[in-house]
Amino acid sequence: MVLVKNTEPVAIDLLVRQFENVPVAVVILITVGVGIFIGYALALSVIMTSKAEARLLRNENKKVSDEINSLRNIAVDEGVYEDDDEEE
């Protein structure tokens, strides 16, 4: 409805180029299209950054968990060997 009612021509003055007699409907469509593209690009950038950060945190979490498990096993093994030495 908005595009049908806005048919009068306008002049567009960009920094590098000027356009004469462009219908307002075309300007609206191009502006909305560019806005959707920019929004999609920004959202994609945020999603990719978040996924990369999540991947790094998962790797760090796995390293820390492995280290905790190895330290826990060392403490258990030392306790078993200390009990064997005391019994002999």
Q: Which two tokens stand for residue 71?
A: 């330290």
pLDDT digits 0-9 by tens, 18-44:
999 999 989 999 999 999 999 999 999
- CA dist 79 and 76 (Å) reads 5
pLDDT for the residue numbered 79: 61
pLDDT for the residue numbered 6: 79
Query: Taking the domains of the chain in order of start, what are their residue ranges?
Result: 2-87
pLDDT for the residue numbered 63: 96
Model pTM score: 0.62
Q: Which two tokens stand for residue 79?
A: 């306790």
